[in-house]
Structure 1
Amino acid sequence: MNEILIKDTKAFYQKTFNAPAGTIILSPGRINIIGEHIDYNDGYVLPAAIDKIICFAFEKNNTKIAKIHAIDLDESFEIDVTSKQELTDSVWTNYLRGVLNQLHLKGYALEGFNCTFSSNIPSGSGLSSSAALECGFLYGINELFNLGIKPIDIALMGQSAEHWVGINCGIMDQFSSVMGLEDKVIKIDCKTLEYTYHDANFVDYSLILFDSNVKHSLFTSEYNTRRIECGEGLDIIKANYPEITSFRDCDVNHVTSLQSKMTDNVYRRSLYVVKEIKRVIQACVALDGGDILTLGKLMFETHDGLSVNYEVSCDELDYLVELAKAEDTVIGSRLMGGGFGGCTITLVKKGSEEAVKAKFSKLYLDKFGIELKIHDVKVSNGTSLYK
Structure 2
Amino acid sequence: MNTILINGTTDFFQRNFGNAPEKIILSPGRINIIGEHIDYNDGFVLPAAIDKIICFAFEKNNTKTSKIIAIDLDEYFEINLDDEITFDEKVWTNYLRGVLQQLKLKGFQFDGFNCVFRSNIPVGSGLSSSAALECGFLFGINEIFNLNIKPVDIALMGQKAEHWVGINCGIMDQFSSVMGKENKVIKIDCRTLEFEYHEANFSDYSILLLDSNVKHSLFTSAYNTRREECEEGLSIIKKKYPEISSFRDCNITHLQNVKDKMTENIFKRSHYVIQEIARVGKACYALDKGNIPLLGELLFETHKGLSQEYEVSCDEIDFLVDAVKKEKSVIGARMMGGGFGGCSINLVEKGAEDDLIEKIAKQYHSEFGIELKSYKVKISKGTTEFKN
Output the TM-score relative to the length of structure 2.
Answer: 0.95
The letter for the 2-side match of 1:110 is: F
Write the distance in 2 (CA, Å) between the matches of 1:171 and 1:212.
25
The letter for the 2-side match of 1:266 is: I
SS at structure 2 position matched to 1:217:
coil
Matching of residue 37 in structure 1 with residue 41 in structure 2: no
Residues 42-74 of structure 1: per-residue CA shift (max 9 Å, x gap): 211111111000111112222222222211111
Could you tell me which residue of structure 1 aligns to residue 118 of structure 2? 118
The letter for the 2-side match of 1:150 is: K
Could you tell me which residue of structure 1 aligns to residue 270 of structure 2? 270
Could you tell me which residue of structure 2 aligns to residue 194 of structure 1? 194
* RMSD, aligned α-carbons: 1.6
When structure 1 is superposed on structure 2, of 243-252 and 117-126 the one drifting more is 243-252
Write the distance in 1 (CA, Å) between the matches of 2:96 and 2:222.
29
Residues 178-210 of structure 1: per-residue CA shift (max 9 Å, x gap): 111111111111212221111112121111111
Change (3 A) 1:142 1:261: closer
Could you tell me which residue of structure 1 aligns to residue 301 of structure 2? 301
Could you tell me which residue of structure 2 aligns to residue 152 of structure 1? 152
Could you tell me which residue of structure 1 aligns to residue 290 of structure 2? 290
Q: How many residues align?
A: 387
SS at structure 1 position matched to 2:154:
helix
Matching of residue 205 in structure 1 with residue 205 in structure 2: yes
Could you tell me which residue of structure 1 aligns to residue 137 of structure 2? 137
Q: Is the 8 A contact 1:82 1:109 kept in 2?
A: no
Could you tell me which residue of structure 1 aligns to residue 6 of structure 2? 6
Displacement of 1:261: 4.1
Q: Is the 8 A contact 2:168 2:224 kept in 1?
A: no
The letter for the 2-side match of 1:126 is: G
Identity %: 68
Write the distance in 2 (CA, Å) between the matches of 1:95 and 1:311.
27
When structure 1 is superposed on structure 2, of 50-59 and 34-43 the one drifting more is 34-43
Change (3 A) 1:45 1:20: same
- Which runs of structure 2 are paired with 1:252-267 in the superposition (5 Å)? 252-267=252-267
Q: Is the 8 A contact 1:209 1:345 kept in 2?
A: yes
Could you tell me which residue of structure 2 aligns to residue 74 of structure 1? 74
Moved over 4 A (4+): none
Could you tell me which residue of structure 2 aligns to residue 374 of structure 1? 374
Displacement of 1:227: 2.9
The letter for the 1-side match of 2:184 is: K
SS at structure 2 position matched to 1:86:
coil
**Structure 1 residues without counterparts, runs of 5 or longer:** none
Matching of residue 88 in structure 1 with residue 100 in structure 2: no
Displacement of 1:23: 0.8
Q: Is the 8 A contact 2:40 2:169 kept in 1?
A: no
The letter for the 2-side match of 1:91 is: V
- Which runs of structure 2 are paired with 1:350-361 in the superposition (5 Å)? 350-361=350-361
SS at structure 2 position matched to 1:35:
coil
Could you tell me which residue of structure 2 aligns to residue 217 of structure 1? 217
The letter for the 1-side match of 2:53 is: I
Residues 263-313 of structure 1: per-residue CA shift (max 9 Å, x gap): 332222222111111001111111122221111110000011111222222
Change (3 A) 1:65 1:275: same
SS at structure 2 position matched to 1:381:
coil
Q: Is the 8 A contact 1:28 1:50 kept in 2?
A: yes
Write the distance in 2 (CA, Å) between the matches of 1:101 and 1:250.
37
Write the distance in 2 (CA, Å) between the matches of 1:223 and 1:161.
17
Write the distance in 2 (CA, Å) between the matches of 1:166 and 1:232.
21
Residues 88-147 of structure 1: per-residue CA shift (max 9 Å, x gap): 212122222222222222222212222111111111111111111111111111111111
Change (3 A) 1:232 1:17: closer
Could you tell me which residue of structure 2 aligns to residue 226 of structure 1? 226
Displacement of 1:172: 1.2
**Structure 2 residues without counterparts, runs of 5 or longer:** none
When structure 1 is superposed on structure 2, of 226-235 and 32-41 the one drifting more is 226-235
When structure 1 is superposed on structure 2, of 352-361 and 125-134 the one drifting more is 125-134
Could you tell me which residue of structure 2 aligns to residue 327 of structure 1? 327
Write the distance in 2 (CA, Å) between the matches of 1:261 and 1:73.
50
Displacement of 1:257: 4.0
The letter for the 2-side match of 1:130 is: S
The letter for the 2-side match of 1:6 is: I
